[in-house]
Chains A and B, each alone.
Chain A
Amino acid sequence: MATSLALSLAADGKAPLFLDCDVEAPNAGLFLKPTFEQRSDVSVLIPRVEEACCTSCGRCAEVCQYHAIAVLGKKVLVFSQLCHACGSCREQCPEDAIREVPSVLGVLEAGPAQNGIAFARGMMDVGEPMAGPVIRKLKQWASPGDGQIVILDAPPGTACPVVESIRGSDFLLLVTEPTPFGLHDLKLAVQLGQELSLPIGVVINRDGIGDAEVEQYCGTEGLPILLRVPFERAIAEGTARGRTLLEIHPQMGARLRAVLEQIGARLGSPP
Chain B
Amino acid sequence: MTIVVSTTGSDLDAMLDPRFGRAAFFLIVDPETMAWQGHRNSAADAPGGAGTQAAQLVAGLKAAAVISGAFGPNAFRALEAAGIAMFQSSQAGTARQAVEDYKAGRLERAGLPSRSGRHG
Contact = CB atoms under 8 A, between A and B. Distances in A.
A72 B49 contact: no
B111 interface: no
Contacts of B120: 159-160
A75 B81 contact: yes
B119 interface: yes
Contacts of B48: 66-67, 82
Nearest to A73: B82
A45 interface: no
| Interface of B: prevailing SS | helix
A66 B47 CA distance: 8
B60 to A, nearest CB: 9
A67 B120 CA distance: 13
A40 interface: no
Contact of B59 (A67, A69, A72, A82): A72
A82 B119 contact: yes
Nearest to B55: A70
B49 A79 contact: yes
Contacts of B46: 67
A90 B69 CA distance: 35
B74 A79 contact: yes
B94 interface: no
A81 interface: yes
Contacts of A72: 55-56, 59, 78, 81-82
